[in-house]
Amino acid sequence: MNTGNPDARRHHQAPLGIVNMISKSSFPSVESYLALSLCVAVIASATVFTTFHSQPELQKLLEEELRNNTRLSSAYGLNIEALSGNTLFQIAHYILSDTTLIWVAINSYFAILAMCTKLIIKLTFKELARHEETVARQAFLSYILLTVVYLSVVTGPQKGHRVMPWMIWGGVCGFLSHLQFVTCQRLKYTSPSCDRGSQKVSILSVFLFIVSIAMSVMVSRFQQHLEWQPAVLLYFDCLLALFRSTYILFRCTSSSRLFSFNPDSVRHFNYWLELITNFVCELIQMFSYAQLFVVSPGLNLTSLFFLYHMKLTYNCMREQLGRHRTHKKIFEHIENSYPCVKAANSDDRCVVCWELLGTSRRLPCSHQFHDWCLMWWLAQDSSCPTCRCIIPSPQDQLREADANSTTRVIFNGGTFGFVHFPQFHLDLGPFLSSLLGRAAEPSEEQLQTMLEQVREMFPQMSTEAILTDLRQTGMTQTTIENILEGRIGVNPSLLPGALDDDLSDESENEIEYEEPIEVIQEPDNGRQRTWTKLSTSSGDEELSYYEIQRAKMIETYRRKYLASDKAADLRAMGITE
């Protein structure tokens, strides 16, 4: 009943339509749900107590009914003779026997779990960020939808006493899955050297691990009362909870000070731990969907629903393996291209993770970064994180290899009668392209049409740069994305090698850059720290709108960060702007 790896799934697939619509609305919020559940529970409790006080003969009827109920004593081993006279046991039996009150009790149980989840998150992580709340809300609503479909297959046309245990189990799994999801999100973006809140996260990881073990023990003890199909599904849930809790526990242990003396080994361990855990959880989830697909009666919408989720899980596994192969190639490129050196000063930090540099990799522009930080950066952008100098990346080689190995057939679309066909393309392999005899590059007419479309959006771009990228990509949308992400159209004057030429040129049509060097003298060790700020003396109109807005955004958030409490160490070192 868990939803596999929601973090991997949210990046590569769109949520279901009903889940996306509900997640964007303000209702139902957790606060409104808890308030409504509290009102319903108070009204139902008052009704039950009033009924028991106004009808004394009801207790005698319930006592006789409990004594004649042999199912409780045979299935659960309860002493009915001793419990039949207990008032609380009679009230519980009365609630579970009533169709309306049993759903009120289940809703109150869910409300208590939601309140406990919110309280634990508040005590451990304080306030969640807005994007964390959005992702957690969407994952929780997806879990509810999966649970409803799950119960429709498992229970079927059963009575209330058969549905209620599955509802209780679903509540426990949802409680555990939500806490695990929020904890995993925080562990991805938490620095190992951060001591604030680490003890609370460690306590939460131990609690999640104990609850997972307790779930497994409970299923093993009640296995004899279940058929093999529900028992296997319960074991799948236990395995998912156990693997995720073990991952969180190991991640907290590896990020502690016990292993701070060897950060490179910790990064290797965390990478492989996350990869193996995600892959195993997705594999277990796919087996669970496969069993639900087989168990579902006949071919209906429910079976198609599980078949669709099997496909999504398989795609997530393929994407994880593809990302692993890409990261492996990038890491090999880093080891072969950039030397491993030690930081000149013991207090120098990596600008990507803000940890101490220690042993790091030096780029051609003389900036140093951790090998793992550089790997994650080069997977997204082929430039230096500090000076934005263009550096070679294996991602570019992979794109060129894909472009050379495949042939892209482009259809510009058009209107035929009342039907409009949009623009689309087909990527053909080497074998099919040789059979069809199609050219790898689009025709000149297609290039001119696509060039006009791109020039309408980016008139400041040169025609040669756009045509070069269009010949490689073959798609207007891909070229536009490359321009927006800065892969093409980089102003040559921004590169380090062209700064001297721009400074020596006195033409009014070119941009002159001034590079003032500000020197900060540190009183403790006499060492000087310098940095360079690039400023324009004239002609901001020569820069593209994207470059100007990016520079303004970086400067604004840099000032905000330096003025915040998190930058107290930087202000103490003399860095104030």
- Domain annotation covers residue 503: no
Span 492-516, average pLDDT: 41
Q: Is there a single domain that holds both residue 136 and residue 192?
A: yes
**Among candidate residues 365, 399, 433, the one where a domain is terminated:** 399
Q: Which of 245, 92, 102, 214 is nearest to 165 (CA)?
A: 102
Q: Check residue 80 and give its pLDDT.
A: 65
Q: Is there a single domain that holds both residue 560 and residue 533?
A: yes
- pLDDT value at 57 more than 60: yes
The model's pLDDT over 8-46, given as tens digits with 9 standing for 90+, comes to 444 444 444 555 555 555 555 777 878 888 898 899 888
Sole residue written with tokens 């074998």: 431
- Domain annotation covers residue 508: no
The model's pLDDT over 275-308, given as tens digits with 9 standing for 90+, comes to 999 999 999 999 988 888 887 666 667 778 788 8
**Among candidate residues 435, 454, 489, the one where a domain is terminated:** 489
Mean pLDDT of the chain: 73
Distance between CA atoms of residues 273 and 276, nearest Å:
5
Span 170-189, average pLDDT: 85
Lowest-confidence region among 146-155, 218-227, 313-322, 557-566: 146-155
**Among candidate residues 295, 325, 359, the one where a domain is terminated:** 295
Q: Is there a single domain that holds both residue 304 and residue 451?
A: no
- Domain annotation covers residue 509: no
Lowest-confidence region among 325-339, 364-378, 473-487: 473-487
The model's pLDDT over 404-443, given as tens digits with 9 standing for 90+, comes to 555 565 656 666 555 666 666 666 555 554 454 444 456 6
Phi, psi dihedrals of residue 249, rounded to the nearest 5°? -65, -45
The model's pLDDT over 214-248, given as tens digits with 9 standing for 90+, comes to 999 998 888 877 788 888 888 999 999 999 999 99
- pLDDT value at 165 more than 60: yes
Residues 257, 258, 262, 267: is their CA dihedral positive or negative?
Answer: negative
Q: Is there a single domain that holds both residue 419 and residue 561?
A: no
Q: Is there a single domain that holds both residue 300 and residue 278?
A: no
Q: Check residue 217 and give its pLDDT.
A: 92
The model's pLDDT over 323-352, given as tens digits with 9 standing for 90+, comes to 898 888 888 888 888 888 887 787 788 888
- pLDDT value at 474 more than 80: no
pTM of the model: 0.60
Cα separations (Å) of 279 from 15, 56, 319, 323, 396?
21, 59, 10, 12, 27
Q: Is there a single domain that holds both residue 93 and residue 116?
A: yes
- Domain annotation covers residue 1: no
Q: Check residue 207 and give its pLDDT.
A: 93
Q: Is there a single domain that holds both residue 342 and residue 282?
A: no
Q: Is there a single domain that holds both residue 35 and residue 107?
A: yes
Task: Report which DSSP code applies to 356.
Answer: B
Burial of 258 (0-12, 13-18, 19+ CB in 10 A): exposed
Distance between CA atoms of residues 11 and 30, nearest Å:
25
- Domain annotation covers residue 507: no
The model's pLDDT over 509-567, given as tens digits with 9 standing for 90+, comes to 443 434 443 434 444 443 333 333 444 444 444 566 667 777 787 788 778 777 887 77
- pLDDT value at 172 more than 70: yes
User: What total of structural domains would you count in the chain?
Assistant: 4
- Domain annotation covers residue 501: no
CA diameter of the chain: 104
Q: Check residue 501 and give its pLDDT.
A: 44
Distance between CA atoms of residues 40 and 35, nearest Å:
9
Domain boundaries, position 10: 6-295
Lowest-confidence region among 86-95, 380-389, 436-445, 513-522: 513-522
Q: Is there a single domain that holds both residue 317 and residue 200?
A: no
Q: How confident is the model at residue 393 (pLDDT cuts 50, 70, 90)?
A: low
Q: Is there a single domain that holds both residue 270 and residue 325?
A: no
Per-residue buried b or exposed e for 78-111, using 16+ beta carbons within 10 Å of the residue's own CB: bebeebbeeeebbbebbbeeeeebbbbbbbbbbb
Dig out the tokens for 236 from the structure: 């799948």
CA 525 to chain centre: 43
| Domain harbouring 471, CATH code | 1.10.8.10
- Domain annotation covers residue 218: yes
In terms of pLDDT, which residue wins out, 73 or 264?
264
**Residue 359 in contact with residue 299, Cβ under 8 Å?**
no
Span 389-401, average pLDDT: 63
- pLDDT value at 157 more than 80: no
Q: Is there a single domain that holds both residue 65 and residue 157?
A: yes
The 3-state DSSP class for residue 326 equals: helix
Q: Is there a single domain that holds both residue 288 and residue 302?
A: no
The 3-state DSSP class for residue 409 equals: strand
- Domain annotation covers residue 500: no
- pLDDT value at 385 more than 70: yes
In terms of pLDDT, which residue wins out, 464 or 525?
464
